[in-house]
Amino acid sequence: MMRFGISISAAAVAAACLAQPAFAKQAEPPVELAKCAAPYGSIAVVDGDTQGWTKYGLGSPRDLVNALALESGCFTLFDPATGRPTTYLMNVIAGDKEEVDRGVEVARSAATEGLVRSGALGGLGGRALGGMLGGFGGRKKTLAAGIRLISPASGQTILTGGGEVQKTTITFGGTGGLFGTGSQTGGYGTTKDGQMLAEAFIKAFNAISAQGSVLQALAPAAPAAAAAK
Buried (b) or exposed (e) across 64-83, using 16+ Cβ within 10 A?
bbbbbbeebbbbeebeeeee
Closest CA to 43 of 144, 151, 132: 151
pLDDT at 16: 45
Digit-coded pLDDT (tens) for 100-157: 877 676 655 555 454 444 444 443 333 334 333 333 344 468 899 999 999 998 888 9
Q: Output the pTM of the full model.
A: 0.70
Rounded to whole angstroms, the Cα distance separating 202 from 162 reads 9
Query: How many angstroms separate the first and last alpha carbons of the chain?
Result: 92
Q: What is the pLDDT of residue 97?
A: 78
pLDDT of residue 144: 94
pLDDT digits (tens, 9 = 90+) for 39-80: 999 999 999 988 999 999 999 999 999 999 999 999 999 999
Alpha carbon of 70 to those of 40, 55, 83, 106, 185: distances in Å? 12, 27, 20, 28, 13
